[in-house]
């Protein structure tokens, strides 16, 4: 596992700001009638305007700046000309390169009024991400993060996808370790300050497999049930989890003082990152 120095975390935080602002620009346009291709264009412009580079575009040949996964699509949906419709849910996944480092995040949005079940699915998926984030503390183990996510999802009566997992992230987009959304507490590698993970629970209404269509990307549920996907890029610090991709208003835990053991030159407490 690669541990980042404080200066590297600062660069990742800058990538994360661009990424979340671009998602904010997309979010403002989400409504019935808009196409995912239109959202994709807005995301690309927003990233480029801020000096970043879309991380997904061209990655193993992926065509989009966004993954737009509608209804039964779990992940890796490709933006297209289909207008979003009232009652749909759409998971929007976005990644940005900046200064040699990557940020990765996703959220699932409701298009107008959605079913109670769809709303409960989104809520449980968001709560599971938060539980995983809360477990990102020095001395905990990776299995604590995985188990926390799984527990919230299963408590809500939903199913954790096994076919795709979260990942380490930094100067490569996907790096060690893999971060399953299921597992056993107290197992796996110990979390240390400077570790950065993209935690991304993918949750389905029922127990079902996930398939990949002939386009090589689109990954729907085998039985057609709804799926949700949310993601944050999160650093372990001595003061607890630092959610790099969270809007300031969501960054929980308040002030983050970076005192990573791996800080360049042994600097400690150099930066205070203010959440609220």
């995985």: which residue's tokens?
146
- CA 36 to chain CA mean position, Å: 19
Task: Measure the CA–CA gap between 91 and 106, rounded to whole angstroms.
Answer: 7
Does 244 interact with Co ion (rule: CB under 5 A)?
Answer: no
Q: Assess contact for 19 and 43: CB atoms under 8 A.
A: no
Q: Assess contact for 112 and 90: CB atoms under 8 A.
A: no
CB closer to ligand MF3 out of 231 and 239: 231
Question: Which does residue 56 touch among Co ion, ligand MF3, none (CB within 5 to 8 A, set by kind)?
Answer: ligand MF3
Q: Which of 59, 189, 211, 216 binds ligand MF3 (CB under 6 A)?
A: 59
CB closer to ligand MF3 out of 27 and 271: 27
Residue 232 DSSP class: E
DSSP 55-108: SSTTGGG---SEEEEETTEEE-PPP-SPBP-TT-EEEEEEEEEETTEEEEEEEE
- Interface stretch with ligand MF3, choices 1-9, 12-20, 54-62, 236-244 (CB under 6 A): 54-62
Does 131 interact with ligand MF3 (rule: CB under 6 A)?
Answer: no
**CB count, 10 Å around CB of 172?**
12
Least distance (Å) from ligand MF3 to the CB of residue 218?
Answer: 11
Does 202 interact with ligand MF3 (rule: CB under 6 A)?
Answer: no
Does 93 interact with ligand MF3 (rule: CB under 6 A)?
Answer: yes
Closest residue by Cα to residue 232 from 95, 101, 138, 44: 95
CB closer to ligand MF3 out of 169 and 258: 169
Does 239 interact with ligand MF3 (rule: CB under 6 A)?
Answer: no
Does 104 interact with ligand MF3 (rule: CB under 6 A)?
Answer: yes
Which positions lie near ligand MF3, rule CB under 6 A? Answer: 56, 59, 62, 67, 76, 93, 95, 104, 167, 198, 200, 231
Which positions lie near Co ion, rule CB under 5 A? Answer: 104, 198
């Amino acid at each position: 596992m690669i541990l980042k120095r404080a200066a590297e975390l600062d660069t990742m935080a800058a990538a994360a700001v661009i990424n979340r602002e671009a998602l904010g620009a997309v979010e403002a346009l989400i409504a019935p009638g808009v196409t995912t291709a239109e959202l994709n264009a807005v995301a690309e412009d927003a990233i480029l305007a801020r000096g970043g580079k879309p991380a997904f575009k061209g990655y193993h040949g992926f065509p989009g700046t966004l993954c737009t996964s509608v209804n039964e699509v779990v992940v890796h949906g490709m933006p297209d000309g289909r207008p979003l419709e009232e009652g749909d849910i759409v998971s929007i996944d976005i990644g940005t390169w900046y200064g040699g480092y990557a940020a990765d995040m996703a959220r699932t949005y409701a298009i107008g009024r959605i079913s109670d079940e769809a709303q409960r699915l989104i809520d449980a998926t968001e709560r599971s991400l938060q539980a995983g984030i809360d477990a990102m503390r020095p001395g905990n183990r990776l299995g604590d993060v995985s188990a926390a996510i799984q527990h919230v999802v299963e408590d809500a009566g939903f199913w954790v996808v096994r076919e795709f997992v979260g990942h380490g992230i930094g100067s490569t987009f996907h790096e060690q370790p893999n971060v399953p959304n299921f597992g056993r507490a107290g197992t796996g590698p110990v979390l240390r300050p400077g570790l950065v993970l993209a935690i991304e629970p993918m949750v389905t209404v029922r127990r079902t497999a996930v398939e990949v269509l002939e386009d090589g990307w689109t990954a729907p549920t085998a039985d057609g049930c709804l799926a949700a996907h949310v993601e944050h890029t999160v650093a372990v610090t001595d003061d607890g989890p630092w959610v790099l991709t969270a809007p300031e208003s969501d960054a929980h835990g308040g002030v983050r003082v970076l005192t990573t053991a791996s800080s360049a030159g042994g600097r400690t407490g150099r930066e205070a990152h203010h959440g609220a």
